[in-house]
Structure 1
Amino acid sequence: MPPAARLVRSVRLSSAAEYAYAAVTPAGARLVFAAGACPLDEDGATVGAGDVRAQAAQVMSNLATSLEEAGAGLGDIVRTTVYVASSDQRDLVAAWEVVRDALAPHDPPSTLLGVAALGYADQLVEVDAVAALTDG
């Protein structure tokens, strides 16, 4: 099945970004809006308290599962937003590296944000995503 989105990289913008700058979906693509994936285990407990990388890994596993249930996969993502409950840029980079590696070689447009707090006890990372599907 062909990809549902064309990822746009501009030679007029910095190549330092580790993601495409835009994604274009074809007419008729169906969009999948994933809720923010959290670092929770099957029992609802926060995984990896205090460990940004462990939480990011759990988040990406949970995101993959929710997308799979919707008929999509990580390679169908056309946009992510990565939230990290930290003002330390090293924590943001650590979370991003896990997310980037989980998506590779796919590199959809992404936004990385440091935030004051997230919803669950001990939660440091959350990722929301939009995926696109085509029937052909």
Structure 2
Amino acid sequence: MPRAVTLIRSASLSDVAEYAYAATAPAESRLIFLAGACPLNEDGSTAAIGDVAGQAAKAVENLRTALADSGASLHDVISTRVLVASDRQEDLVTAWEVVRDAFGDHDVPSTLMGVTVLGYNDQLVEIESVAAVLDS
């Protein structure tokens, strides 16, 4: 199945970043705006309390589910924003590594942010995303 998302790299910007700097989708693609994927278990409890990597992994798992229910996959994501409730850069890097590894070679444009607090008790990670698909 053809993909709608085209990742764009910039030779004019640093090659240190572990993601594309931009992405496009054709006008005929269907955009999917996903709510922030949270590290919640099926019963609504927060997973992996106190564990940034564990929460990032659960958030990615829930993102995959939301995408599948929308007719998409991680390879259809056009951008992400990864939020980490921490003022420690190493916590942000830990969350980012989990997300980056989940996306593999589909290294979408992303923003990584440290925030003061997130919406659920004991929540440390949330992943916002937009996807684009070409419907048959």
4+ aligned runs moved over 2 Å, structure 1: none
State the partner residue of 1:88: 88
Deviation at 1:117, TM superposition (A): 0.1
Distance 2:25 2:121 in 1: 37
State how far apart, in whole Å, the 2-side matches of 1:45 and 1:103 are: 25
User: What is the Cα deviation at residue 19 of structure 1?
Assistant: 0.5
Q: Provide the residue aligned with 1:121 in structure 2.
A: 121
* Structural mapping, 1:18-37, within 5 Å: 18-37=18-37
Tell me how many residue pairs correspond in the alignment.
136
Supply the RMSD in Å over aligned alpha carbons: 0.7
Report the identity percentage.
60
**What is the correspondence of 1:58-97 to structure 2 with a 5 Å cutoff?**
58-97=58-97
Where does the alignment leave 5 or more consecutive residues of structure 1 unmatched? none
TM-score (norm 2): 0.98
Task: Give 1:6's aligned residue.
Answer: 6
- Mind listing any 5+ residue stretches in structure 2 that lack a counterpart? none
Equivalent residue number for residue 134 of structure 2: 134
SS at match of 2:126: strand
Cα drift, residue 80 of structure 1: 0.3
Counterparts of 2:64 and 2:52, CA distance in 1: 18
